[in-house]
Amino acid sequence: MNVDTPRDGLQLRSIVKDSGELELSLARVATPAPAADEVVLRVEATPINPSDIGLLFGAADLTTLAGSGSGERTVATARIPDAAMKAMAGRLGQSMPVGNEGAGTVIAAGSGAAAQALLGKTVAVLGGAMYSQFRTVKVELCLPLPAGTSAAEGASCFVNPLTALGMTETMRREGHKALVHTAAASNLGQMLNRICRADGIGLVNIVRKPEQEALLREQGARHVVSSASPRFIDELTEALVATGATLAFDAIGGGKLAGQILGAMEAALNRSAKEYSRYGSTTHKQVYLYGGLDTRPTEFVRNFGMAWGMGGWLLFPFLQKAGAETAARLKQRVAAELTTTFKSHYAGEISLFEALQADTVAAYGARATGAKFLVNPNKGVA
């Protein structure tokens, strides 16, 4: 079953041009023959995560999206507003491959024993450039999937599962006892809800729509609050009193939500305050912004005392800080619970060609909850 290494394959590319144009296209790239400790993967399933969308589109205005060509010549373009070009300086003129993670079949392997052992296996890889037909990667980046697991089931093995586990790990490490999560009906949010239920962790789920609230309640979530409710702040405060959550992970980023969470945490803490302190509660309240679904500026009223923090949170720096032992423990849990706790849902499976068609781009570019797509780079390829 060791087929020869395919000579080349298609790879999705994103480039920002001097002219202020973003262009997505397909390149035909050579497949490197595997070294002793490498394997060649035929990529069969790779998700379009919010973290991929950032690299795909940069600061482009998707309302200006236009498509042209077909097959290997399919191209999508969009304008980048002049004001946003400064932030693109670091990637200007570079044709960049995209796709953090994915899964597929090992179709060729280097001479090493570890590489040979993977031949024919379905593996998940966190290797970048996964929107490619073929990828030659180091064995150490591969996670062999349990027998009977499909590439589609294993496609989102890393980013969402490890991010969700990273949140509860961070909670413990920083001395909090419960969590708040926004955009809570996302794939990631549903995973976090399952983890918190299994581990007995209090979780306050913040959603934006009634159907998202219903979905999470069906999945056993106890505390679900909708930011669209006219009583949002009061309902959030009650949930914070009930759980004692003083740590939040916010995927929204823009607008007032992060500050509102800190304010409600302070109000919840002050319910049990014995004495007035003009500096507010002495309990540290923290919100980590790990996404930016709302691209507007972040704004907050400082009504939560002085013991507070806001900051960025990213998976890879977290894993580095947590150390190899913790990272290995988390990955083992993901592999063991891949089709239960860490199950993902997709709006559809698309080919590389479809990924460049304007209507499809508009669909996954919307970053709406429930609209996550899976790319199969070998779908529809001759």
Among the listed residues 178, 170, 182, the one whose alpha carbon sits nearest the alpha carbon of residue 318? 170
Among the listed residues 348, 352, 351, the one whose alpha carbon sits nearest the alpha carbon of residue 371? 348
The nearer residue to a second copy, 16 or 39, going by C-beta atoms, is 16
Binding characters for a second copy, 149-188, by CB under 8 A (x = yes): ----------------------------------------
Q: Does 299 bind a second copy (CB under 8 A)?
A: yes
Element (H, E) at 16: strand 8-16
Total residues contacting a second copy by CB under 8 A comes to: 40
Phi-psi region of 234 (alpha: psi -120 to 50; beta: other; left: phi over 0): alpha
Tell me how far, at minimum, the Cβ of 336 lies from a second copy, in Å: 29
Q: Does 55 bind a second copy (CB under 8 A)?
A: yes
Q: Does 228 bind a second copy (CB under 8 A)?
A: no
The nearer residue to a second copy, 182 or 376, going by C-beta atoms, is 182
Tracing tokens 């890879």 back to the chain, one arrives at 316
Window of 128-136, 140-148, 278-286, 369-377 that interacts with a second copy by CB under 8 A: 278-286
The nearer residue to a second copy, 67 or 254, going by C-beta atoms, is 254
Measured CA to CA, the distance from residue 20 to residue 267 in angstroms comes to 46
Measured CA to CA, the distance from residue 339 to residue 81 in angstroms comes to 42
Measured CA to CA, the distance from residue 140 to residue 277 in angstroms comes to 53
Angle at CA 182, nearest 5°, toward 179 and 185? 105
* Of residues 66-125, those binding a second copy (CB under 8 A): 87, 89-91, 94, 96
SS3 275: coil
Q: Which of 64, 68, 111, 303 binds a second copy (CB under 8 A)?
A: 303
Interaction site with a second copy (CB under 8 A): 54-55, 58, 87, 89-91, 94, 96, 253-254, 259, 270, 273, 276-279, 282, 289-290, 292, 297-303, 305-314, 317
